[in-house]
Amino acid sequence: MTIKNIDHQTLKKWLENQEAVLVDVREPAENAASKIDGSHLLPLASVSLKSLPKSDGKKLVIHCGSGKRSYNACVKLLAEDSSLEVYNLEGGISAWNAAGNKVESSGKFFLPLDRQVQLVIGLAVFLGSILGYFVDPLFFILSGFFGAGLCFAAVTGYCGLAIFLAKMPWNKNVATRSFSCATK
């Protein structure tokens, strides 16, 4: 089980020659903010062999924002079928865009989910510390709660806050407003 990484130049050539099917494993709101033309949205949590778009003998390329989630998607797919030929776009859409390749953009500001998690935790720890110092020491529990949550997420790979934030309307409605058939 080996994951094959490709660079943006190889992907561009494959897409121009219609040799590849591109799957975006980012969240719907991220995809709505910017996407590579012709990519198919399939969030990482939904990735499975059954959920993949038909490739009709074309190469299957997975991408995300930076290459991390797409790598995890490749691992997930290869765990289901070790003979599957799947490629990971190194650097994700960030590398694609930085190289000057075309990206469809809505032009709207979007804060990625991981940064939303960082913002919420940072604010909670900051407020817990300030309120604990100036109002009541019991507010320090708030900082401790979020610190423990970070430790739990690091050890298990499960972040309840990220799942909660992904279900918030501002992370859902961006996709459904932008694409008419996104009502699954």
For residues 46 and 86, state if they share a domain: yes
Closest Cα partner for 63 from 100, 20, 106, 105? Answer: 20
At CB < 8 A and 24+ separation, what contacts does 13-20 make? 14/59, 14/61, 18/58, 19/58, 19/59, 20/58, 20/59, 20/60, 20/61, 20/87
Same domain membership, residue 91 and residue 140: no
Q: Is residue 184 part of a domain?
A: no
Q: Is residue 86 included in any domain, yes or no?
A: yes
Length of the chain (residues): 184
Number of domains in the chain: 2
Short-list 122, 99, 104, 117, CA closest to 164: 117
| 93 and 120 assigned to the same domain | no
- Residue 6, H or E segment: strand 4-6
CA distances from residue 149 to 44, 123, 137, 159 in whole angstroms, order as listed: 22, 14, 20, 8
pLDDT of res. 105: 87
CATH code of the domain covering residue 79: 3.40.250.10
With 0.75 as the threshold, say if the pTM is over it: no
For residue 64, indicate whether it is catalytic: yes
User: Angle 18-24-27 (CA atoms, 0-180°, nearest 5)?
Assistant: 160
Q: Is residue 122 part of a domain?
A: yes
Domain end point (choices 105, 121, 139): 105
> What's the CA gap between 27 and 49, in Å, rounded?
18
- Sort strands 86-89 and 104-105 into parallel, antiparallel or unpaired: unpaired
Residue spans of the chain under pLDDT 70: 1, 173-184
Dihedral sign from CA coordinates of 48, 89, 119, 145? positive
- Asked whether residue 95 falls in the same domain as residue 138, the answer is no
- Does some domain include residue 49? yes
pLDDT at residue 166, as a whole number: 86
Give residue 90's domain range: 4-105
Q: Are residues 118 and 158 in the same domain?
A: yes
Q: Are residues 130 and 171 in the same domain?
A: yes
Q: Are residues 85 and 119 in the same domain?
A: no
- Is 39 in the same domain as 127? no
| 10 and 89 housed in the same domain | yes
Per residue in 78-124, pLDDT tens? 999 999 999 999 999 999 999 999 999 887 777 888 889 999 999 99
Catalytic residue among 64, 74, 159, 181: 64
Residues 96 and 50 placed together within one structural domain of the fold: yes
48 and 95 housed in the same domain: yes
Q: Do residue 10 and residue 99 come from a single domain?
A: yes
Q: Enter the tokens of residue 159.
A: 């972040």
Final residue of a domain: which of 57, 81, 105? Answer: 105
DSSP 100: T
d(CA 89, CA 87): 7
Which pLDDT belongs to residue 15?
Answer: 97
For the chain, give the mean pLDDT: 90
For residue 183, being part of any structural domain is answered with no
